[in-house]
Amino acid sequence: MTHKAKKVVIITEKLILDQVLKIVEAAGATGYTVTSAGGKGSRNVRSEARTTVVEAFSNVKIEVIVGDATAAERIATEVADTCFGNYSGVTYLQDVEILRPHKFTRTS
């Protein structure tokens, strides 16, 4: 049986990864996935395949699944308000269905 949850996707500069992950963890997320990202947007093209002069200026995609919409909205809003004034980034939410909902609930 599946259970409804929210996925938060954050695409931003690797330079602020630690700051974003602190927000994610403070909101109660039990885990996340970080991958290299590339693409084209309002700030031109960023290739994930091309080595950057400084690794910190590359882009990352952070995916977080949380059990409730309130936590998802808190993560998305705080990341946008705290980080995106000075760094490029985009955040969006998706409805997802998960198995094993206990994996997405903090027990302590």
| Rounded Cα–Cα distance for residues 67 and 106 (Å) | 10
Q: Which two tokens stand for residue 94?
A: 């998706």
Distances from the Cα of 23 to the Cα of 31, 32, 41, angstroms: 12, 12, 24
**pTM of this prediction?**
0.85
Q: Where are the domains of the chain?
A: 3-99
Lowest mean pLDDT across 9-23, 35-49, 52-66: 35-49
Q: Which CATH architecture has domain 3-99?
A: 2-Layer Sandwich (3.30)
Handedness of CA 40, 38, 6, 18 (dihedral sign): negative
Residue 52 reports pLDDT greater than 70: no
Q: What is the pLDDT of residues 57-82, one digit of tens each?
A: 789 999 999 998 999 999 999 999 99
What average pLDDT does this structure show over 30-50? Answer: 75
